Every structure is written in C-alpha cells, then in structure tokens.
Chain A
Amino acid sequence: MGASEFAQQLVNALGLGSVYALIAVGLAMVFGILRLINFAHGEVLMLGGYAAVFFALAGWPFPLVALLTVIATVIIGVVMERIAYRPVRGAPDVALLLTSLGVSIALQNAALLVFGTQPKPFPTPPALAQQIPLAGGVQVSGVNLLTIVAALVLMVLLTLFVTRTALGTQMRAVAENAMAARLMGISVNTVIVAAFVVGSALAGVAALLYGARVGRVEYAMGFIPVLKAFVATVIGGFGSIPGAVLGAYLLGFGEIFLVSLLPDDLTKYRDAFVFGGLILILLLRPQGILGSTDPEKI
C-alpha cells in the first residue's frame, strides 16, 4: 500500500468510524445507566432516515430537514423509553435485552408495513455528494468530511455536557453508582430520559449522515450499523462513553484496513472477522479497553 492510498484509507476509516461513534455513544449512555443493550437504537436511526425523506419531500432546505429529523428521533427515543423500557425496568438484564429486541422487531415491521420493502432515495444535498481533493491525490467526499467534522464537534459538546453541566454530572453519578446517586437526591427518571434524548439526537444525526452515505433509506437499514456500533461499545468497554468513541474509530480502521489488506476472496467474510474479534475481546478483556464494569466472568 502506497502512502497516498494509505492516507485515502485513513480518511475513509475516519468517516466510517465517525458514523459508528455517533451511534455507539447512544448505546453506551443507555447501557451505562440502565444496563440495557438497546437493540432498537438502530430503529431510531432507521425512522430518522424516513423522517428526513419525509421532510425533504416538503421541499425544505437541508439544515431545516436535519433539525426536524433530530427532533423526530428524540421524540421516538423518549416515547420508546416511556412505553416499553420503563415498565420493565428492574427486571433481570436479559429481560430488558429481550424487550429491546421486541421493540426493534415491532418497529422494523411497522416501517415495512407503512413504507414497504422498496428503498427510498435519500435526499442528499448535491454539495455533499462532491469529492473534495486534499493534498497528494487523496480525496474526501462531502459526506465523509461533514461526518468527521460533525462527529468531532458533537463529541466535544457531549464531553462538555457530561463534565460541565449538572445533568451530565448526575448522569455520570447514576452510571457509577445508581444507589448512591439516588440517595444524593438525583432523579433517576430524569437522568434516564436525558440519556435517551442525547442518544436519540445523536442517532438522528447519524441517520442523516449514514443515509447520505448509502444514498437510500429502507426498513432494515438500522440493523447492521447498530450491530457494528454495539461491537464498538464492547471494544471500548460497555457503558463507557469515551470507550465507545475509541472503539468506534478502532472498528472503523479495523474494518477498512481489513478489507484492503485481506485477499479478495476473504473480504466477503468481513463481518465474520469483526464478530470473531468481538468474541475474542469478550473472552480476553470483557471489560473492554476503557471499561471498568464487573466482567461477570467465571
């Protein structure tokens, strides 16, 4: 691999990693606080994609479409928490996980019912579809550039939110020790809703960027990216937000370079390698790179 090809792959990997990071943070936040693996997070992404298609049909400019999409995903996330997850809170971990699987399947089929199997073209603004030349023959697509910048900005904002605001501090407190946090007068419900709001908003942004990336919206589009984001949270450590971001970029790099380095007839097994790696990490370091939760290993 030459230097310019390497740089090109680096740019691609950054873009992919940024998408994973935006999704993974939502998963990690909810896991950290509720110990819930939210499989339905992918469906928030998918519905966000449809929301963008819907708002774009009205002919509004893309920034307004984006804003409305994010608002829509936030509403979806909060409603999901209220209807499905709050009633089963306190049940064993596995019950929560299964409930989220049920929510995921219900929403996927609801989308199938309403929108059909035919993918809808994503209203990507022409500016994003352009290739922007960088130094040395390396190119970055408008979507990739926006993804990388958006992820960077949002991660900075998120860090400020988590470390500098009262609500953010409360979230960290609940994630660390929910009992102690509650004794300190923190409203657990508020914190949980906040986690869903932030996570779903990021999923909304991810929906816009991922939709623009693949160019279409369909009922099953949330499934694979959320599984990958989920692997990212495992790599970084379940429930750790910085861990999820780190894991997302590692996975993005791993995937891109795996494809460019593997012989051609093995690249189609990419997902098998990714999930094989996941199992290895779970076995060797179940708490992930930055996680510190109880590894529950015998």
Chain B
Amino acid sequence: MATAPQTRPAGPAAAAPARPLVAARPKDRRGPWAALLALLALGGFVWLAETAFNAYRLQLVVLVLIYAIVAVALAVTSGFTGVFSLGQIGFLAIGAYVSALMTIPPIWKDEISLPGLPPWLAALDLSGLHPQLALLLACLAGGAVAALVAAVVGAPLMRLSGHYVAVATMGFLIIVYTLIVNAGTVTSGSRGLSQIPGLTTGWSAAGWCALAVYVAWRLRTGPAGRAMIASRENLLAARGVGIDVLRTRLLAFVVGAFFTGVAGALLAHQIGTIAPSQFYFQTTFVVVTMVVLGGMGSITGAVVGAAIMTVLPEYLRSVDEGFAFGSIQTGPLFGLSQIVLAVGFILVMIFRPSGLFDDKELGLGLLSRRRRNDGALSADEAVTPDAAPGLLDAAPEDAHG
C-alpha cells in the first residue's frame, strides 16, 4: 500500500490536548455551497413527498432517510476506522425499544402487559407534549442509551481488529437479540411492541439525516476523522504520530451508535410495531450491503447505498409474488428477492469491492470534474482498508512454483 502524501505529521504525543493530533485538511471553499445546495434539495424533496406523495411512497422516503442515518453511522464506525462492526443493528434495536417504551401510552404498558417496567417508565406519558417534541425526546433517549452502551461495550472491544472485532460485535448483536427475546416482561419478547405512536414525519427523519451527514462530514474533514482514517490505513504509523487509536475508534463507535439509536427511534415511530426479528442478521446484512455498495468510508456513498437498498427490495417484493408465463402461474416465490440482493452483493464484492464511490464523496467537486489535491486519499489506498496479509493476494490461477 503506497503511503499517501499526507499532511505534515503532527507534534509529539505529549502535545496539549487542544492541539489536533493530525492537521486538518485545508478548507474547501465549495463545501458550504455544496452543503447548502444539498440541504435545499433535501428540503424541497421532503416538501414534495409530504404534500404530493401517497402514504406508501411517503413511507418509503422516510425509510430511505432512516436507513441513510444507519448507513452513515456505520460508515463512521467501520468505514472511517476499518474496525468492522457486525453489531450495529444491536444499537438500532436499543434505540427502537428505549424510545418505544417512552412514547407508548401508559394504558398499553401497565402491570399486565409489561410487568417488568419500572413504575416511572410505565407511568411516563408523552402524549401531552407536542408530537414532535415527544419524538425528539424519544430520539435523544434512544440515541443516548445506545451511545452509553457503545461506550461500555466499545471500551474493551475496540482493542480488537480485523476478524476479531467483527466476531466480537456479532456476539454483541446476538446477546442483544437474546436479551430482547427473553426479557418478555419489559420487551414482550418475540411478539414485540405495538401501539407505538406514529410520530415520525418526513421532516424529522430528514432533519436527523442531515445532522448525521453533517456530523460525519465534520468528523471526516476534521482532526478526529483524519486520525480515524490514519489508524485504518496503518495502525503502527498512526500510533507512531501519537494518535490514541483506542480513543479514536471508541469515538467513531459511540458516534455511530448514537445515530443508529436515533434511527431506531425514528424507525419504531414510523412503522408502529417492533419485534426482535427485525433487528438481527437479515437487517445487519442489508445495512452492511448499503455501506459496501456505496463504498466504505464515503458518506454520500452510504446515503446512495441506503437509497438503493431500501427502494430496490420494495420493487423486488413484487418478484416474490411470482410470475405468469402465459397461462402458467408460478405462485408466490418467497425468498427470491433476497436471493437477488445477496447474489447482487456477491457480484459487487467480486467486480467492484470498493463500492460505487470508493472513498470519495459525491459533491460539487465531482460534478465540476476538478481534481482535488488537498490530501484526499487516493482510490487504490482505500481498496484495502486493512491490508490482507499472506500471499493469497492476487494468487495466480496456477500457483505451481
């Protein structure tokens, strides 16, 4: 892996904490304009969706925005740092359950239906508040609890790399799932929670999505994000210039968990019912596909990946209902859409493992086709986020010496 012409190495590790460890990239003057344009486009689109779309289409738009938050969060957690988390959906579950337990009206969480709830939570009634304020509180609580869990779980887990962290975070996901399924007095087990008020609107989802993208963008272009990318590219070199890799990874993990928790809250208040099976491997695979499809480490790529992977299955769903060849009806074909998605994913891994956008961002810079030379990482670096050891790399078909 070629070393990039990185910005000047920062001062020694003992530098004052106020001083960034890795110098920030020079300011891109087009940045604010691109952001403004994107915000206006998003606002216009949401306005159009809220006023002109039917309920189904509007729901689809909201789901795209919610999954965009999850995908951006995973891009921060895993794409920036190279610490591959398979446990992200555990935080989605935490956000969904915490927020749902807050906003479900007290009559649906009484002694009989959810006896394990603490009295104050069972009595908590947010229906008196403005719906959007209630949703905001629920989102903040869902995100905060997810972030707290991430801080506790991540402190030890972020020491691991490569396979080990993928496996450990997968273990975390299974533990969360097992707890939710079995703690029936609080979560009503595998039946799940219903009666969640439908508070999520296109505007609230869009607002959180914009915030997630903004925070990811600030992280990425700022010292913390550059430290994340440095530790992904070369662990040893990153530590050599004084980056606290554990703290850097933990920051990415906690920020990712917070936004995933918020997305979980939005999701719960969009679809109205949640069950543990929604927060397991199938969803994990879909979200991972979003990020891989968009390009690990690209924020706009994650958003585009989320849009594709949310809209495509909806259209493929009609495939599951079967085909008619003239007079011959195939009958329902359950699972076909999933096969199409999985095979598509494998093809992406084979033919374009770096995703649509690789490490780059879709923006004005890309539109005006001007090369940016201000320290952006080159494409061939990003292809191998954690260098594959061993000589199986590019092994020729016939390996006889």
Of A65-73, A183-191, A254-262, the one with at least 4 CB within 8 A of chain B = A183-191
Q: Does A35 contact B (CB under 8 A)?
A: yes
Q: Are B386 and A93 in contact (CB under 8 A)?
A: yes
Verify if B367 is at the interface (C-beta below 8 Å from A).
no
Contact partner of B342 (CB less than 8 A), chosen from A106, A230, A269, is A106
Q: Does chain B have a CB within 8 A of A138? A: no
Is A74 among interface residues, defined by CB-CB distance under 8 A?
Answer: no
Q: Is the CB of B399 within 8 A of A92?
A: no
Chain A neighbourhood of B160, CB < 8 A: 282-283, 286, 296-298
CA distance A218 to B63 in the complex (A): 31
Cβ-defined contact, A187 with B399, below 8 A:
yes
- Complex interface bits, A253-287 against B, C-beta within 8 A gives 1, otherwise 0: 00000000000000011011001101100110010
A81-103 CB contacts (< 8 Å) to partner B: 84, 87-95, 97-99, 101-103
Please, what's the 1-or-0 string for B367-401, where 1 marks a CB less than 8 Å from any CB in chain A? 00000000000000000111111111111011111
Range of interface residues on B (Cβ < 8 Å):
35 or more
Give the distance to chain A from B396, nearest Cβ to Cβ, in Å.
Answer: 9
Does chain A have a CB within 8 A of B161?
yes
Contact A178 B178 (CB under 8 A): no
Report Cα–Cα, A182/B282, bound state, in Å.
38
Contact with B along A35-68 (1 / 0, CB 8 A): 1010000000000000000000000000000000
Interface pair B338/A109, CB less than 8 Å apart: yes
CA of A38 to CA of B335, assembled, Å: 21
CB distance from A288 to the nearest CB of B (A): 11
Question: A268 to B179, alpha carbons, bound, how many Å?
Answer: 9
Residues of B within 8 A of A132 (CB): none
Q: Is the Cβ of B395 less than 8 Å from the Cβ of A113?
A: no
Contacts A105-B282, A283-B160 given: A94-B175 contact, CB under 8 Å?
no
Check B215 for interface membership: any CB of A closer than 8 A.
Answer: no
Residues of A within 8 A of B389 (CB): 35
Is B333 in contact with chain A by the CB < 8 A criterion?
A: yes
- The reply to whether B385 and A179 contact each other, CB–CB distance below 8 Å, is no
A227 CA to B387 CA, complexed, in Å? 26
With contact pairs A106-B346, A272-B179, A279-B172 given, residues A35 and B163 touching in the complex (Cβ less than 8 Å)? yes
Residue B240 is within 8 A (CB to CB) of chain A in the complex: no
Q: Does A221 reach chain B (CB closer than 8 Å)?
A: no
- Hey, what's the 0/1 contact readout for B314-352 against A, CB within 8 Å counting as 1? 000000000000000000011110110111011001100
Q: How far is the CA of A97 from the CA of B85 in the complex (A)?
A: 12
Chain A interface SS verdict (over half): helix
Chain B residues with CB under 8 A of A91: 349, 353, 388
Does chain A have a CB within 8 A of B45?
A: no
> Do A297 and B159 have beta carbons less than 8 Å apart?
yes
Q: Which residues of A contact B11 (CB under 8 A)?
A: none
Interface residue count on the A side (C-beta < 8 Å): 58
CB of A295 within 8 Å of the partner chain = yes
B235, closest chain A residue (CB): A298
- The verdict on A149 contacting chain B, using a C-beta distance below 8 Å, is no
Chain B nearest Cβ from A198, distance in angstroms: 18
| Alpha-carbon distance between A286 and B161 when the two chains are bound, in angstroms | 10
Chain B's closest residue to A185 (CB) is B401
Are the C-beta atoms of A95 and B339 separated by less than 8 Å?
no
- B166 on the A face (CB < 8 A): yes
Question: How far in angstroms is the closest Cβ of chain A from B353?
Answer: 5
Q: Does B156 contact A (CB under 8 A)?
A: yes
Which chain B residues border A179 with CB–CB below 8 Å? 390-391
Asked whether B182 lies within 8 Å of A101 as measured between CB atoms, the reply is no
Closest A residue to B245 by CB, please name it. A298
Q: Would A113 and B179 count as touching, CB distance under 8 A?
A: no
B235 / chain A contacts, CB cutoff of 8 Å:
298
Report whether A278 and B171 are in contact in the complex, using a CB–CB cutoff of 8 Å: yes
Q: Which one, A87, A110, A182, A278, contacts B339 given CB within 8 A?
A: A110
**Contact (Cβ within 8 A) A99 B346:** yes
- Bound Cα distance A89, B349 (Å): 10
Least CB distance from A201 to B in Å reads 23
Which A residue sits closest to B292, measured CB to CB? A98
- How far is A233 from B353 in the complex, measured between Cα atoms in Å? 28
B210 in contact (CB, < 8 A) = no
Q: Which residues of B contact A183 (CB under 8 A)?
A: 401
Report the separation of the CA atoms of residues A105 and B164 in the bound assembly, to the nearest whole angstrom.
22
* 11 residue pairs from A and B, CB less than 8 Å apart: A35-B390, A89-B392, A89-B395, A92-B385, A97-B84, A106-B342, A108-B335, A109-B338, A113-B334, A183-B401, A275-B172
For the complex with contacts A35-B390, A112-B338, A298-B246, 14 further pairs of A-B residues with Cβ separation under 8 Å are A37-B167, A89-B392, A93-B163, A98-B345, A99-B350, A103-B346, A105-B342, A110-B339, A112-B335, A113-B336, A189-B399, A271-B178, A275-B174, A296-B161
